[in-house]
Chains A and B, each alone.
Chain A
């Protein structure tokens, strides 16, 4: 019995991904543990590992295909002794529903019955039929009786709902999510049968007088950034607090420490900022929080998400327990994470679940800016460039290296005075940097 290889879910939140690259071609022998393909998930690129062995009989999804639903068949593996004729029986009709980057997602023409004959051979073999595709082809939508009734009562078209149950079945939770999300997303009754927007469709508000352009399809990462940033600005009432910090003592300390490193490490100002931000969180733990509808999450350690502008887009690898780590450890960990981010190799546990974020655009000469909060965290610190500015000291004009920082705060979780106390603690550490080493 040929084995269907399906699109894996590489993180709990992943619902679809891009099949970036096939690492094997049709006819190649496959051993358990071989790398079959590269999948681009929400934020990273990961490899799909073979669970079974055999011959890669047929590739069902071309490389470069976006928006491949989790559990959708992507290839067929022939077991030992099977020849290619077994393929045709095994191919689930859902193959026709997949789309490539070049073409708009066309609804499936073929009917898409589940193929129970393939189940049971391997865990990855359970074929799932995308409900939306089935609907478009006039096939049966898999939905629980309760989900059907709730959808009917809410006037919701099941074809517009993604199923999260067994074999993509639409269950109660999906209907509840669809009803809850109806205000924010497209009208529930609309016959939008695929989640991925057609790349050739005109943008909303496109004008006939708009100049010529080349349309770049949205990468998975770009979609995630768009979704998360919109969500943050829509949900979290931001307010902003700005403070100037004198950097001269910190720069001197950095120079001193780097002088002793003997080439073993080179601390950046950013490494010191990470440390100061973390230690300040321990001093003002009320700022080390996240907002959830079920309650305020009071994080126990300072896990600092650091925004990194990778070549692929924005991502925030996390320095965990930064308050307890030495500067050298922070520095080397940051370098490693930034390199991984550039290669798209960060693992979910490396970029998810921080307690506080830092975005530093100082190296670009930005004096001051306001960052968008990285929800569910309540605070993000936007760090500007350190530059020589005139300051008044003891009633006289003097020159100091000054860095402006702006804290964006989610007012649902943190009030103004707490934000101010946090910034004061942060400035204290930056201006008297030995104290952060205590």
Chain B
């Protein structure tokens, strides 16, 4: 299989070293394929360098700060506590760096050839590697996987300048805790930064064009999140569109239009734009192929194949949900299909959990209650608030709830929606239930350890059957 005719011929070339690309490359190497990985900037991609991981580092600092400030509730006295934004950012960068070199080691260990540069398709099974716009190498490959990811969507006239208007990348290396911060967009990225800076003391306003925050989540969860954020002093404006941003020395003024045409102006030191992302489809040479690009994403079949034989696209590039774990999973599926591994299954996006690491945390998998009803299911809904959970009370964090949605006819767990302490760690239990096709019966018979937050997961299922014990 690995008939290597020269140094530049591979079974598989992966373009992009993010969580989709590097996982695909390692899995392919495990299966005996001769693999090269092309990365233009840094291994680990956005996720590890400018996304998931460094934001988690920041949010942890915010959490520790929040706990330290509430020390007296826990019987502790802390005299003085101060935010050092530079040290917080440094810690976050150090963690990203550590993981970045970790990925390098993993690739090396698995004998993946890592090539630095920009990959450009030249036609069937051929790829040029460019450095500073000049081709330095030409590769041939039986299979090429594109995993070039995505970047922040820009709105015309509101482009991030890194000074007064930030995107996620600028916010990750913030030089200051802005006194007044405006966050445009209330998806996971917007809300996480809003939560971070709000905890550190910024006066935060979030603007969302849709009628609720975190609009992909279940409506009840959105409503609870909004209440929790407002209690923390955040200002949330929903159904509001930003018409323009005017920069002046020391301040940016946003002119907002409320549904119905009324307008309002908000002034802030900094603005974070978090209005979605677009796939990195440009400059890949896709025009030389039969691959179809639609709305800044490459169209793929359930096996991640594009319209061009031997060319595949995974992760953010192949469309939503834009999640690192979805990209990694697609990478594995794509490679196993290429290698002819028996029993490979396409990804069911309904089984992909989503997490937002704000305070309180939010996590979900499967259909929202509204989506389940719209799909024609007769549903049974269970709800359990963390105020009924001993561990949550002991932690001093009893805000939030767990909601489960079942099909009334056959007991399928259609979706689970959580808000509260550590729910991003808990959601996996329901994800396993989804992927193994458990019904309420298996969940009812599962023993959940006491005292843990996970008991609330059990109680939510019990509640769906009208049997909750502790509420």
Contacts and interface: CB of A to CB of B under 8 A. Distances in A.
Query: Do A and B belong to a common assembly?
Result: yes
22 contacts: A7-B342, A10-B340, A33-B1, A49-B1, A51-B32, A70-B342, A71-B342, A123-B336, A123-B341, A128-B343, A144-B436, A145-B411, A145-B438, A145-B439, A146-B410, A146-B411, A146-B412, A146-B439, A149-B410, A164-B345, A166-B345, A171-B437
B409 A153 contact: yes
Interface string A107-135: 00000000000000001101010000000
Contact of A9 (B342, B438, B439, B441): B342
Contacts of B410: 146, 149-150, 153
A147 B409 contact: no
A10, A126, A150 interface centre (most CB from chain B within 10 Å): A150
B342 A123 contact: yes
A80 B340 CA distance: 24
The 9 closest A-B pairs by CB, nearest first: A144-B437, A146-B437, A123-B341, A71-B342, A145-B439, A146-B412, A33-B1, A150-B410, A149-B410
A207 to B, nearest CB: 44
A128 B345 CA distance: 15
A124 B341 contact: yes
A54 interface: no
A112 B209 CA distance: 58
Interface in B340-359: 340-343, 345
Contacts of A153: 409-410
Nearest to B438: A145
Given A49-B1, A71-B343, A123 B31 contact: yes
Interface size class of B (residues with CB under 8 A): 20 to 34
B309 interface: yes
B412 A6 contact: no
A349 B309 contact: yes
Contacts of A167: 343
A172 B412 contact: yes
A149 B410 CA distance: 6
Interface in A144-172: 144-147, 149-150, 153, 164-167, 171-172
B309 A172 contact: no
Contacts of A124: 341-342
A126 B412 contact: no
Contact of A145 (B343, B345, B409, B441): B441
A311 interface: no
Nearest to B309: A349
B216 to A, nearest CB: 23
Given A32-B32, A123-B339, A165-B345, A147 B1 contact: no
A12 interface: yes
B309, B336, B341, B342 interface centre (most CB from chain A within 10 Å): B342
A144 B438 CA distance: 7
B196 interface: no
A433 interface: no
A129 to B, nearest CB: 12
Nearest to B307: A300
Given A123-B336, A145-B411, A146-B439, 15 more contacts: A6-B342, A12-B303, A33-B1, A49-B340, A123-B342, A124-B341, A126-B342, A144-B438, A145-B436, A145-B437, A145-B438, A145-B442, A146-B438, A147-B437, A153-B410
Contacts of B303: 12
Contacts, number: 64
Contacts of A7: 342
Contacts of A145: 411, 436-439, 441-442
A32 B31 CA distance: 11
A2 to B, nearest CB: 17
A229 B100 CA distance: 55
Contacts of B342: 6-9, 70-71, 123-124, 126, 128
Interface string A1-23: 00000111110100000000000
Interface string A363-400: 00000000000000000000000000000000000000
A319 to B, nearest CB: 15
B149 to A, nearest CB: 27
A153 to B, nearest CB: 6
A150 to B, nearest CB: 5
Interface string A41-81: 00000000101000000000000000000110000000000
B378 to A, nearest CB: 13
Given A32-B32, A165-B345, A349-B309, A8 B340 contact: yes
A149 B411 contact: yes
Interface in B1-30: 1-2
A126 B336 CA distance: 14
A7 B343 CA distance: 10
Contacts of A70: 342
Interface in B400-427: 409-412
A298 to B, nearest CB: 13
Interface string A244-265: 0000000000000000000000
A262 B386 CA distance: 86
A123 B436 CA distance: 21
A164 B343 CA distance: 8
A357 to B, nearest CB: 20
Nearest to A171: B437
Nearest to A152: B410
B195 to A, nearest CB: 36
B306 to A, nearest CB: 13
A371 to B, nearest CB: 27
Contacts of B2: 33
A124 B439 CA distance: 31
A121 to B, nearest CB: 12
A172 B434 CA distance: 11
A8, A33, A123, A165 interface centre (most CB from chain B within 10 Å): A123
B321 to A, nearest CB: 21
A172 B343 CA distance: 16
A32 B1 CA distance: 8
Interface in B294-314: 303, 309
Contacts of A146: 410-412, 437-439
Contacts of A6: 342
Interface string B26-51: 00000110000000000000000000
Interface string B438-451: 11011000000000
B438 A126 contact: no
Nearest to B2: A33
